[in-house]
Amino acid sequence: MAIKRSASISLLLSVLIVLLSAGFLQGQTQSPPKQFVDRQFQLDLNPTLNVSTDHARTVALLFGQQEHVVNFTSRPDLAKRAPFNFEYAKCKGESLWRMVQDAFNGQRQAGPDFTQNDFDNGWTKTAITGGLGGLPVGWDPAFQTFANNRVPTSTELHHLRALQDKSFKNRNGNTVQSPSRGEYQLYYAPSHKAMLARNVESPTYRRKSQGYPPAAIQDAIPPLHRLSDVSWYTYSRLSNSPGDLRYIGHHFISNDDSNLIIDQLLRNTPNIGWPGLTLDINTNEAKALLGTPNGVGVAWLMMDRARVLGRRRPKVHIWNKNSFRCMLWDLAPA
């Protein structure tokens, strides 16, 4: 009996030691392991992760003090949508900016050259008239800065509404009867080396909102579908020297992720007009704006058209006058 009691006491002591070493019975819980201190990203670098590819191309994984940026162009298996915040946007923007610099150095293939047939494939193009005939509210001071204190004349300013409202042939040549209803409203002023987006709902965005699974979207949109390609195609045909394009703006931004970053950066000056807050691309704040949905298209345009545009060093202006959030990228020659 004494031997059994001694064995029971020894077993109990062993259990107590294990519990104490694990941090229990001390009113404390263990700190998360350093390799999983991820500041809201909750991902690891396990290449066997079975996660969705429907999201942005990059995300920061922060392990302790070390930052790992995963490029989802080469790692689609890790393409999981992390919570959108400043850190996420900054790391995405950093990756995009590196890709832009690679394009400037001739290390990326140029974007596709689309034709009128591509733009006729499922798209209806109309001129914007009536109340939208001039520049949007608040943009006159910006355009005056572009060209010796004057705004574009009625003959210098071009308007386009591109609506994906017809059946089309997809990338595989198959006919898709149901249009995405994607829409772009764009202003072009080659005289001021500028273009401006007023309404941006890409075919990809529309298909997502219609419930298409990520893997099916590319076969449910026309080959010409990105804002960067639609806007460049039109500008390059309106301008006698498209390589001089310098200013790309977004008016009345309604995207929640973009507005989250803009509002955070303008928190001390919430009702500010042009020129607003000006940031160089080498700042974390500018990189975060490049990583927003309203900045990504600018990055892709610089990447895809680097051979025509040449090397640039962008800066970005953001302002929010009377709840009209705006963003302007100045692609200054480097």
* pLDDT tens-digit map of 81-99: 568 999 999 999 999 999 9
Give the span between the Cα atoms of 60 and 42, in whole angstroms: 10
Q: In the predicted model, is pLDDT for residue 314 greater than 70? A: yes
Q: In the predicted model, is pLDDT for residue 68 greater than 90? A: no
Q: What is the pLDDT of residue 8?
A: 52
Q: In the predicted model, is pLDDT for residue 182 greater than 80? A: yes
Tell me the average pLDDT of the chain.
80
Q: In the predicted model, is pLDDT for residue 80 greater than 50? A: no
Q: In the predicted model, is pLDDT for residue 267 greater than 50? A: yes
Give the span between the Cα atoms of 22 and 29, in whole angstroms: 8
Q: What is the mean pLDDT of residues 276-293?
A: 98
Q: What is the pLDDT of residue 79?
A: 42
Give the span between the Cα atoms of 45 and 61, in whole angstroms: 8
Q: In the predicted model, is pLDDT for residue 25 greater than 70? A: no
More confident residue, 80 or 314: 314
Tokens coding 23: 């941090």
Compute and round to an integer the Cα radius of gyration of the chain: 26
Q: What is the mean pLDDT of residues 163-181?
A: 98
Give alpha helix (H) positions in 239-323.
256-265, 284-290, 293-304, 306-309
If residue 11 lies in a helix (H) or strand (E), which one and from where to where?
Answer: helix 2-21
More confident residue, 111 or 132: 111
Q: In the predicted model, is pLDDT for residue 61 greater than 70? A: no
More confident residue, 39 or 283: 283
Contact 246, 239 (CB under 8 A): no
Q: What is the pLDDT of residue 147?
A: 86
Q: In the predicted model, is pLDDT for residue 301 greater than 90? A: yes
Q: In the predicted model, is pLDDT for residue 285 greater than 50? A: yes
Predicted confidence band at 151 (pLDDT cuts at 50, 70, 90)? very high
If residue 102 lies in a helix (H) or strand (E), which one and from where to where?
Answer: helix 86-104
Q: What is the pLDDT of residue 33?
A: 31
Biggest CA–CA distance in the chain, Å, is 105
Q: What is the pLDDT of residue 42?
A: 28
Predicted confidence band at 72 (pLDDT cuts at 50, 70, 90)? very low
Least confident range of 48-57, 119-128, 237-246, 267-276 = 48-57
Q: In the predicted model, is pLDDT for residue 26 greater than 70? A: no
